[in-house]
Structure 1
């Protein structure tokens, strides 16, 4: 279960929160989502990602970055840009992107008892 939580450094760092409702057309969605996570992980400043998706299509993905510059670099990545356009036209009914600066964190693991 601890693998679900990203191993982020001491704050400050940034979180990009992507909340979405997926459409019923999910042709190629899973493979593309995996590709985007893999590609993001190779970007300078990437710290980790946590993601969940419900059976009804609602989902949240939070990616962590060391700076706004790293976030902007990823935002303008060519392959990421193309996938975002496909998301708008095919995969999502709606979504929101929010960026937050993480200033504090507390981590707990029941394994530490």
Structure 2
């Protein structure tokens, strides 16, 4: 996950390429504290790499504003993959540190994706 808001931004390709719907989207919306990141960027990068090892993980999108609002969406083939990620020890540790230091608040939504399509200019 990049902290560089000037980097090119593009959505993850539709998960329909590796998996046809239905599949699941985990939407994580957060507001950061004003505290020093204290390992936030390294932890976010590590978790982004780590989640790829979870069976059923399809991809992720993320974006953040200079004001600290962030949205990430992780796509999973099934609920079992989401549960495995939710219980992963390193993910649990990062969530604990996030509540202690990095987040003012966050919300997680889990949704079943029934349809997916996209457009990309040639």
Give the paired residue count.
111
Compute the TM-score of the two structures, normalised by the length of structure 2.
0.86
Compute the TM-score of the two structures, normalised by the length of structure 1.
0.92
Structure 1 residues 1-113: aligned runs within 5 Å: 4-8=11-15, 9-25=19-35, 26-111=37-122
RMSD: 1.4
* Aligned residues of 1:14 and 1:67 also touching (Cα < 8 A): yes
Question: 4+ residue stretches of structure 1 with deviation over 6 A?
Answer: none
Consecutive unaligned residues in structure 1, runs of 5 or more: none
Deviations 1:71-95 (A, max 9, x none): 0010000010000000011000000
Greater helix share, structure number = 1
Consecutive unaligned residues in structure 2, runs of 5 or more: 1-7
Q: Give the Cα separation in 2 of the matches to 1:102 and 1:85.
A: 29
